[in-house]
Chain A
Amino acid sequence: MSVAFSRSGYGFAASPCGSARVGLAGAEVLMRASGALWIEATQTLAVADLHFEKGSAFAARGQLLPPYDTGETLRRLEAEVAALSPRTLIFLGDSFHDGRAEARLAPRDAIRLAELARGRQLIWVVGNHDADGPRILPGEVVEDLVVEGLMLRHEPRPGLQPNETAGHLHPSARIVARGRSVRRRCFITDGERVILPAFGAYAGGLSVRDVAFAGLFARTPTVVALGADRAHVVAWTSVAGE
C-alpha cells in the first residue's frame, strides 16, 4: 500500500504486516505493532527503553517481581529480528535498568543477546539509566547517530527537533471510542519527529497528554497505538487525558 499523504503534509497507511507506514521527515518508516521502528531503506531496526533486569532491580529492594522480564523482552526482540532480518539493530537507550544490570543478566540471556549480534551490527545508544552502555556484550556504544537523515538519540531535546527519533518518555495513550477506553503504549509523531514506545516487558507508560510532551511538536501530533497484532493510527481527538 502506498503512503497517502494528506493535506496536512504527513501520511499514514496500513501495511500487510499490521504495521503503520509513516512518512517521517522525508524518510519512510514502519511503526511495528511490537513497538519497534523499521527503517526499510537501510534495513535498520530500532527499539527503545528495554530496561533489562528491571525485575531483579526491584527484587534487590525487596519486591519480588517475576524474574522473567529480560527473557520476555528478548523473546519479543528475537521475534522481530526473525521477521525482518535487520542489518543493524539499534537500542535507543535505557536498554539496561541500571548500571549493574548487565552483570545481573542470567548467562542464558547474555548468550541470547550475543546471538542477536551474529550477522548484524548492534548499536547501543546510551540513556540516563545506562549512561556507560554495556561493557561486555558485543556492539558499538554511541551517544547518537544518523540513519536515513533521522537523528537517533535517547532523550528528546526540548523544542522542535526535526528528524529526531528518540525514546525515554515511554509514551502511552488512553484512547476513547464507543464510550469505552483502553490504555496502550504508542508512538507519537507529527511527521517531523517521533518518540518510540518503551519495548521492555516491565517498562511502564507516561500519558502523551502529560506536560513532558508539551512543546515537542510543531502541529497536533498523531498517535500510533500498539494493538495485539496491529499498530493503530489514532487521531489526537480520540486520545483522552489520563
Chain B
Amino acid sequence: MDGAALPALLPARFADWFTARGWSPRSHQLAMLEKARSGRDALLIAPTGGGKTLAGFLPSLVELMQRPPRNGPPGLHTLYISPLKALATDVARNLTAPVTEMGLPITIEARTGDMSVAKRQRQRLHPPDILLTTPEQLALFCAWEGSRAFFADLSQVIIDEIHAIHSSKRGDLLSLGLARLQEFAPNLRRTGLSATVNDPDMLRRWLSPGPGMVDLVMGEPGAPAVIDVLLSDNRVPWAGHTAQHAMAEVYEVIKGARTALVFVNTRFQAEFAFQELWRLNDDNLPIALHHGSLAPEQRRKVEAAMARGDLRAVICTSTLDLGIDWGAVDLVIQLAAPKGSSRLVQRVGRANHRLDEASRALLVPANRFEMLECRAAADAVAENALDGDPARDGALDVLAQHIMACACGEPFDEDGLYTEVCHAGPFKGLTRDSFNEVLQFVSTGGYALKTYDHFRRIVKGRDGKWRVRNPQTALRHRLNSGAIVGPELLSIRMSSRRGGGGGRKIGEMEEWYFEGLTNGDTFLFGGQVWRFEGIVGLDVLVTRSHDPDPKIPSWGGSKFPLSTYLAKRVRGMVHDEAGWRRLPDDVREWLEAQKQHSSIPATDGLLIETFPHQKRHFMYCYPFEGRLAHTTLAMLLTRRLDRLGVGPVGYLANDYAVSVWALESMADIDFDVLFQEDMLGDDLEAWLEESYLMKRSFRQCAQISGLIERRFPGQEKSGRQVTFSSDLIFDVLRRHQPDHLMLKCARTDASQGLLDLRRLGEFLARIRGRIQVTRLDKLSPFAVPMLMEIGKEPVYGGRAGEMVLEAASLEALIEEAMA
C-alpha cells in the first residue's frame, strides 16, 4: 500500500492514536479499511497477535466517528459474532480501550444468554452502536417480532474465528442467520476473521452472500514456530495415552518457562496430568486446571489469574484453543499427540502473542505410534502444511429450526424464504424439494399419516404467507432454539450431610461418564478425588474421598480422530526407512523389529497380520485412518467374520489400527473379499438398524429441529426423560415411516460424524489390490500396543445392551442358586 493513501483511509484521530501508542497501522488493517470503503465483503486471515480483531473493527469505528448527526436514536451499526461467549465479553472490553482513548462517541455492549432479561430487553429498545454476541443469540434475534426494524440500520457484521465454526451445525445456523440479516439490511457488509487455514477459498465461499467468494486479505505471517518433540530419558512407552513416563521432564520444562499452557486431548487426561504434576510440585508452582466440565465460576477464576500473570501453568483441553490473548504465555506443551496439524498450529499460536517472536512448543508423545504422529505433526507445521474440515452441506434439522424462527419473527413468503436460504453458504445447493419437505415437517411433522393437519405449528394464511400458529408456540420455540445439543449434562454436587438434596455445585459431566460407576466408586474431578453417592434427578451427588487409586473410566485417546492429512504423513514415515534415524532409539528398534518379524506397510497399502495369542486368534490391520472410521470398520468386519464362521468375540479400534479376535483362525480368509467396498452396503444397513449411534444422532436432530422440545415455559424437562422418550420415538418412527426427514438427518449425521463413512469409503478404495497379509505364529511388534489396551476399554457392539442384561441376569441366577 502506498503511503499517500494512508491519511485518506485513516482519519487523523486514528493515526494520532496509533502514533501515541508507538504503533503504526499494519497493512492488513489498512486493507480492511479499503475493502469497507469500497463496500466489499472480506475475509481476513492472520495469525494470532497480528491485531486481527482491531482490523475487523477499524472500518466500523471510522464510520461511526464520521457518522452525520441524525434525528431520532440511531440503530445498531455493527454486529460482532464469536463462537465463544467469553470472547464476546472480552472483545467488548478490549474495544472499549481505543474508543475511550480516542474519545469516540460510540457505545459498545455484549449480549449473551447469561445476561439478565431486563438488560436484554433494554438493549432491544436502545441498541448500542456495536453489539457483541454469539450465534445462538443471532438465532433468537431471527425469532423476534420486530427484528427487521431492529436491524434496519445494520452496516457491518463481523464473524470471528470462522475457521472454528463453519464446519458444524452451529455454522449452518449462523449462516442462515446471516442470510436473514442480509434480507433486513441489504447493504450489510460482511467481515470474517480467521486463523490460518488450508483452504481459504472454502471460507470465502461460506461467507459470501452470493454465488461467488468474498475478497481475501492476508495478514503478515508470524515468525515460524519452534516445535520440539520431547525425547524422554525414559523410554517411550509401548501403549497408553497419559504420558505419565515424561511427567518429571514436563515439570522441569514448566519450571524453566515463564507461563506454560499444557494442552491435553480429553478431560480425563487433564485431570490425570494435573494430579501427576502436583505430585511432583515440590516448588509449589501455581499450576491450575481448566476444562469444559468445571463450573464456569471456577474457569473464570483460572482465566482471571492467568490474565494477571499469577499462574505458571494451566492444564487445559480444547476449551482454551480459542480465545483471550494472554501475553505472558511463552511455552505451549502438547501432552499426547495433537491429532491434526491445524489444531497444533492453533494451540502453538497461544504462546507468545507477538508476531515478531517465534512461538515455542513442546510435543510429548504418550506412546510409540504417537511418537511418529508428533514427529509428523511437527514436520507438517514446519512446512505450513495444514489440514482442515471439509465444506459441508447444511443440515436440514437446523434449517427446520430456522424456518420456525422466521415464522416466529414475521409472516414469510415461501418463495422468498427459499431464495434467501439459498444465499446461506452451506445451503447454496438446497433443492426446492428438500426445502418443501422441511417446510412441511415444520408445519405438520411431515408424516405419511395425515392426522395432524389441524395441529399445524405454522399455518399459511389467506395472503399466502406462513406464520406461527399462536404466541405460545413461538415462546416455546425461543426457549428451545440453538444448535448445541451436547450429551445430557449432569451437575456434580456435594452431597449434603443430612442426606436429601445436593449442596455446592462442582461442575458438570456428560451422563455417559457415570454409566459405569456404582455407588461408592471414587473418581477424579477438578483435581480432587470424589466418592460417587448416586444420581438424584440431574444431580450427581458426591462426597470427598482420599482414595489414592480412583477409578478413571475410559481414557479414550482423544475425542478428535487423527486427521486424514496427518495419517498420510504417519504412513509415509513408517514406510520411509531412511527417516527412522530421526526417531528415538527404542522407537527405531521397534520399527526394525516389525520389519524383521512381520513387515512394514506400504504407504498406500494395508498391512494385515494374523496370529494366535493366548488361546485366541487375532487379526490386526493398520489403516491409520482415525478412531471413528476404525470403529465402523471393526463393526463391519466383525459382522462379516461372524458370517464366515470364525466366531469373532471382540474388537478394538484406535487411531492407528483395528484388531479383531476370534475363536477360529483367520489366516486362510480371502482378505480381498473381506475388505471389499460392498461392506458399506447391506452390512452397514443391517448394523445401523441396531446401532446406538443412530439413536444418539436422532436425539440430537429431533431436538434441534423442534420435534422434541427440551424446555417448556416454567419448567425444565429433565434430560433423563428426554433420553428415554427420544429412543421410544426413534423406534416407532423407524418401524412406521423409515424415510421420515428426521431419520434421514440422523443417518446423515451418523455417517458424517460418528461413523466417518466418507473416510472409510476412501480407505477401502485406496487399498483395493494393495492388501499385504502376513501370517505369523506369534504377535508382531506393531500389535503389542493395542494388545495392552484390550480389557481396559469397553467393547461396544450392536447388542451390547442385551449383553449387559444377560450378564446381570446370570449374576442373579448364581445368587439365587447360592441363596
Contact = CB atoms under 8 A, between A and B. Distances in A.
Nearest to B721: A204
Interface stretch (B36-44, B131-139, B804-812): B804-812
A2 interface: no
B805 A184 contact: yes
B605 to A, nearest CB: 36
Nearest to B441: A64
Contacts of B802: 227-228
A147 interface: no
A221 interface: no
B444 interface: yes
B808 A63 contact: no
A68 B472 CA distance: 25
A9 to B, nearest CB: 10
B187 interface: no
Interface in A91-107: 106
Contact of B452 (A64, A69, A172, A237): A64
A181 interface: yes
Interface stretch (B64-72, B577-585, B726-734): B726-734
Interface string A54-86: 001001101111111101100000000000000
Interface string B723-763: 11100110111011100100000000000000000000000
A238 B444 contact: no
A64 B457 contact: yes
A181 B519 CA distance: 13
Given A12-B816, A222-B812, A232-B806, A179 B553 contact: yes
A232 B729 CA distance: 24
Q: By DSSP majority rule, is chain B's interface helix, strand, loop, or mixed?
A: helix
A68 B733 contact: yes
A178 B808 CA distance: 8
B786 interface: no
Contacts of B681: none
A63 B553 contact: no
A11 B813 CA distance: 10
B707 A65 contact: yes
A59 B452 contact: yes
Given A222-B812, A235-B811, A242-B535, A65 B473 contact: no
A106 B452 contact: no
B728 A201 contact: yes
Nearest to B554: A179
B516 A176 contact: yes
A188 interface: no
Contacts of B811: 177, 235, 237-238
B729 A202 contact: yes
B707 A64 contact: yes
A66 B809 contact: no
A240 interface: yes
Interface in B514-537: 515-516, 518-519, 534-536
A123 interface: no
Nearest to A20: B809
A241 B804 contact: no
B801 A62 contact: no
A225 interface: yes
B699 to A, nearest CB: 14
B720 interface: yes
A230 B809 CA distance: 11
A71 B473 CA distance: 27
Given A233-B809, A235-B812, A68 B794 contact: no
B20 interface: no
B733 A66 contact: yes
Contact of B729 (A56, A65, A179, A225): A65
B809 A240 contact: no
B516 A175 contact: no
Given A4-B816, A67-B447, A201-B732, A180 B516 contact: yes
Contacts of A157: none
A67 B449 contact: yes
A177 B811 CA distance: 9
A66 B707 CA distance: 9
A234 B805 contact: yes
Contacts of A172: 724
Contacts of A241: 519, 534-536
B594 to A, nearest CB: 33
B804 A180 contact: yes
Interface string A210-242: 000000000000100101101011110110111
Contacts of B476: 62
Contact of B819 (A8, A68, A181, A225): A8
Question: Interface size for chain B: under 10, 10 to 19, 20 to 34, or 35 or more residues?
Answer: 35 or more
A62 B469 contact: yes
A175 B725 contact: no
A177 B807 contact: yes
B283 interface: no
Contacts of A71: 736
Given A63-B709, A72-B736, A234 B809 contact: yes
Contacts of A175: 804-805, 808
Given A66-B737, A67-B449, A233 B813 contact: yes
B302 interface: no
Contacts of A12: 812, 816
Contacts of A65: 445, 707-708, 729
A172 B516 CA distance: 18
B492 to A, nearest CB: 15
A28 B674 CA distance: 50
Contacts of B720: 242
A182 interface: yes
Given A183-B724, A225-B805, A66 B516 contact: no
A67 B809 contact: no
A226 to B, nearest CB: 9
B451 interface: yes
A66 B445 contact: yes
Interface in A105-146: 106
Nearest to B541: A241
B472 A62 contact: yes
Given A64-B452, A106-B451, A180 B724 contact: no
Given A59-B445, A180-B804, A227-B805, A66 B455 contact: no
Contacts of A242: 535-536, 720
B738 to A, nearest CB: 11
A68 B812 contact: no
Nearest to B740: A66
A201 B733 CA distance: 11
A60 B733 CA distance: 19
A162 interface: no
B815 interface: yes
A22 to B, nearest CB: 12
Interface string A1-37: 0001011100110000000000000000000000000
Given A66-B737, A72-B732, A182 B805 contact: yes
A65 B737 CA distance: 12
Contacts of B731: 72, 201
A240 B476 CA distance: 34
B469 A64 contact: no
A176 B518 contact: yes
B452 A67 contact: yes
B808 A234 contact: yes
Contacts of A233: 809, 812-813, 816
12 contacts: A63-B708, A64-B444, A64-B452, A66-B445, A72-B732, A72-B735, A178-B804, A179-B794, A182-B801, A201-B728, A202-B725, A237-B815
Question: Which 5 pairs across A and B sit closest by C-beta, in order of nearness?
Answer: A64-B445, A232-B809, A68-B736, A177-B807, A241-B534
Given A64-B447, A179-B553, A234-B809, 10 more contacts: A6-B817, A65-B707, A65-B708, A177-B807, A180-B800, A225-B805, A230-B805, A234-B808, A238-B811, A241-B535
Interface of B: 444-445, 447, 449, 451-452, 455, 457, 469, 472-473, 476, 515-516, 518-519, 534-536, 553, 707-709, 720-721, 723-725, 728-729, 731-733, 735-737, 740, 794, 799-809, 811-813, 815-817, 819
